[in-house]
Structure 1
């Protein structure tokens, strides 16, 4: 697995891919193409390995499950990735959902409403850890006696990306705290709707909508139908999407190699 991960990351980095993400799961997901007992690497350990073999790409998880790590420790983990990668970490955060692995590994399973409360507290803790305030944090779910974080991140701090399209809570948190949001690229009308919701939340929160990077996760095949993918990418760019993320549908090294040769040169002209 290590050579596959390293080769995929190097090819992506050298081809000009902007960001490289891994899933935050401990069991492989149950889908028609995968089973829980198939290999799954722990995300931040794997990103540390990727950081050592790449030079340019932003690195993060798509997205960190809020229940999997205490927030203070998560801030240190992401800071460590940022420092060792030369300032390339991005903190992707979501409410977590895969209950089989949570029950299986003893992770607390709490109601959805509590997960979102913990998500907001986690964001606030990370922001405090990355500020000049080393004092305590007192929340409903987390209490920290001090928020010391040394060494500090490279630059100001890692950007925070909120993943998910929930209109009442997720996009509100993106508007309130996010440097970026991520929604599924189900179709252009749906993405346009989600961005309108985000804009409305930004207005209510007093945030600059244009200051939040818009990213989408593309679900279709990129290599089987490049013309359709490029047309979709152009349409999403027209909606104000800044970054489109793609999933490998074949061996990762082959996928990344073909992405660099067949797609990226054409994608440069999109938008």
Structure 2
């Protein structure tokens, strides 16, 4: 199993209380820390404009700006977004942005891409909120534009939702051009979402990685659906790495796990959530595979690995203030599951 880590950027109110002038330094320090710890193959941010679970005036930094900045201050760790919303940016423009970030980072960009779901920010930014079928159709057309742009340096598509005519993307990404051993298709694409009829079909056609349900039952079912689509088009499902995201709370013993969860509850209340919502969030966390002692997490995540999970991406809510949980995960969990 391979491992990625999220950098707090504010979307989940995980920079709450840190002055805006200090937030980049907080994100930068955590990105550099991940870069210096080879246990982590990649670091990730979210592509959102408004905070969750409720829109607020808390900070929420833009994903692709962060990708460029983090790419400039790191040298090893790979850089991804989980996941970019196709309809927030014209796909030819986004292909150009991603190619530039790949150049800046020395060929370390991952393209997480999906159809999008956060209705409040869609409408607030003037994008409307098309039905799911249209959002998925845009996703399909957009990834075709990516593939053309990154493999040939130009994209042309007369689609239902996007029309581009010889859109030039030069320089092309380093990946797929001058980097030895890189993907021939350019920047690796992570098709995120578990929609069984359309999203997983798009993934079967275009994805280098998928990202869907992280619980054992859901992961196993979505994997079977993906395998069916791959069979239909003649692709080996094992050529696609399957990933999931995990809210993570780790402690050396049960008491320390409870301390983590108590901190989370308090933090949620401080950011403005009701006690009932905070209690519900903590109750949900207790059921997560990456919550518990190192031994408990290794057992649960090991079962997922055996079911085909090849990549897990971990979110530590307290990371901006406390990295001791990350350190414990690095020393006790990753060595037991990697390889």
1:215 Cα deviation after fit = 0.6
- How has the CA–CA distance of structure 1 residues 135 and 79 changed in structure 2, closer, same or farther, with 3 Å as cutoff? closer
Number of residue-to-residue matches in the alignment: 265
Q: Within the alignment, does 1:24 sit opposite 2:47 as a pair?
A: yes
1:123 positional shift: 0.3
Cα distance in 2 for residues equivalent to 1:86 and 1:57: 11
Residues in 2 aligned to 1:47 and 1:232: alpha-carbon distance in whole angstroms: 31
Which residue of 17, 31, 45 corresponds with 1:9? 31
CA contact (8 A) 2:248 2:316 kept: no
User: Displaced runs of 4+ in structure 1, greater than 3 A?
Assistant: none
2:149–2:155 contact (8 Å) kept in structure 1: no
What is the correspondence of 1:67-216 to structure 2 with a 5 Å cutoff?
67-132=87-152, 134=154, 136-156=156-176, 157-185=186-214, 187-216=215-244
The residue matched to 1:258 in structure 2 has which SS? helix
SS at match of 1:30: coil
Name the CA distance, whole Å, in 1 between partners of 2:316 and 2:156.
43
User: Considering only aligned residues, what root-mean-square deviation do their CA atoms show, in Å?
Assistant: 1.6
What SS does the aligned partner of 2:212 have? strand
- Unpaired runs of 5+ residues, structure 2, are 1-22, 177-185, 252-256, 258-291
Secondary structure at the residue paired with 1:151? Answer: coil
Q: Deviation per CA, 1:16-54: give whole Å up to 9, x if none.
A: 2111110100111125xxx53211000000111111121
Q: Do 1:30 and 1:36's aligned partners in 2 also have CA atoms closer than 8 Å? A: no
Task: Using structure 1 for the length normalisation, give the TM-score.
Answer: 0.93
**Cα distance change on mapping 1:189 and 1:135 into 2, 3 Å:** closer
List gaps (5 residues or longer) in structure 1: none
